[in-house]
Structure 1
Amino acid sequence: MDILATVLQKGGVGKTTTAYHLIRAAQRADKRVLAIDMDPQGNLTTALTPERLPLDEVSLADVINPQQAPGEEPVSLSDVIVPTIWPGVDLAPTVGRALAIIEQELTQAPRTEDRARTLQRALEGASDRYDLVIIDCPPNLGMLTINALVAAHGAVLVTEASLFAADGVALMRDTIASVQQHYNPQLTVRGVLLNKWERTTLAGQEWRLTLHEALGEQLLHPPIPKRAVIRDAIETGDALDRIKGGQPMAELYTRHLAKITRR
């Protein structure tokens, strides 16, 4: 089982969209996939579930809750997993505001190794059920992101061709190095994916060159271009390979998945 986290602390770069299309690429390759929605916004849950989940549904927040009452039966990952719009893909969902509350509790509490390994422990029983786990992380460097990186084998950094996003890549790499040192020496950066790239703009060309000079082979090639069909697919709960004009983009995600997964 390979565990990947899509990360960057800057919002709006397309982490959830990237996770969604990589999940579909893995499903098309006949991989058994578990998607984990570690973002309190719950956008991946909305995209992958055929109907909105009830607010009282057990969810990922219940699995990583640090404040379980004494004597209360702990909630396991298998307790919260739900099917998705695609056969062979399961989801550990985020529902309502529960995960945002848990994030606040984890952030306010001392950052201990025990709290950093909550998701890692939850995943221990899933190794024989899935080929690939993809964790969609929140746009910050809080304890939810730390939990994802501690549990992951590889990180996929998603960025844009802009100053602030490029700065975010540098800070994210520092965070990964810290996690490697203190919690997870096996964690690797599988690649940095330049998303929503516009080839015809001067900024797009210059920042791609800057990122390539800084990252070398870690910068995945080719970048993901800015295309309405990529956004439309996730917003309509469809797949790129099934909608008009989406097939070339679907193949692009398939190529990137092959590069970043263990074979």
Structure 2
Amino acid sequence: MVYTGVLTKMQTEFLEPIQYYLVFENDFIHVNQLLNKRIEIKLIGHQCLSCRLDRPIYRQGFCKTCFFDKPFAGDWIMRPELSTAHLDKEDRDLDYEKKVQLQPHIVYLANSSNVKVGVTRKSQVPTRWIDQGAHEAIEIVEVPNRYLAGITEVALKDHVADKTNWRTMLKNDIKDENLLDWRQKLKSYIPDEALPYFIENNSETHLEFPVEHYPEKPKSLNLTKTPYYSGKLVGIKGQYLIFGDNTVFNVRANEGLVVELLVV
């Protein structure tokens, strides 16, 4: 079976294990069904996720022009503390920014390679944790806008990590942590503006990923440099496809690439 389309991050279902789907314009693939099968991936072009033109992808699936012009690639996406919609202040498109920023946001702790703090819209729980390859996570603050979540994350990352080590996550070289204890230890560092939104009573969420075999020394596939690859799929974790020869492919990092995918 041959599939052709533009890569976007895999869609997921929170089941045991997590269910993954690659969605193209006119077709989709239930990726879990490809485990233990050989897959061939071939780069055949580019398509910006915004303007849909065949232009080199700059970042986050966008061409350079769209990345610097469009509201959905503003700096506040990666740095939520820069959000200004609550002040009625525009960055690139105030209507869009109000729609995204002025909704409930979660500050959370997730354990993927280590315990880290992060921010996501409430509507993206637990999708965000799945995408990060976290095997356990917990909400610690629920605030009414992105700005409050951002300043909380900034305050907490002086005391806990805010990055995931992707190699450690993929090797599954991790240990269980008591995230309730972590939550209580970090409470005193939450800014006064966000402290009333602290979540006192909830439990950890645990996630199971469909992995037959974890790589000992994961090596990342870059389709721009290696436009053809063939390998046996042995796992899916985060937004990574894991192959039997230790090759891993980050689907989300390759958004906007047009590929031909052959299932042998």
Could you state the TM-score of these two structures normalised by the residue count of structure 1? 0.32
Greater RCO (CA < 8 Å, at least 6 residues apart): 2
Q: Which has the higher helix share?
A: 1
TM-score (norm 2): 0.32
Name the larger-Rg structure.
2
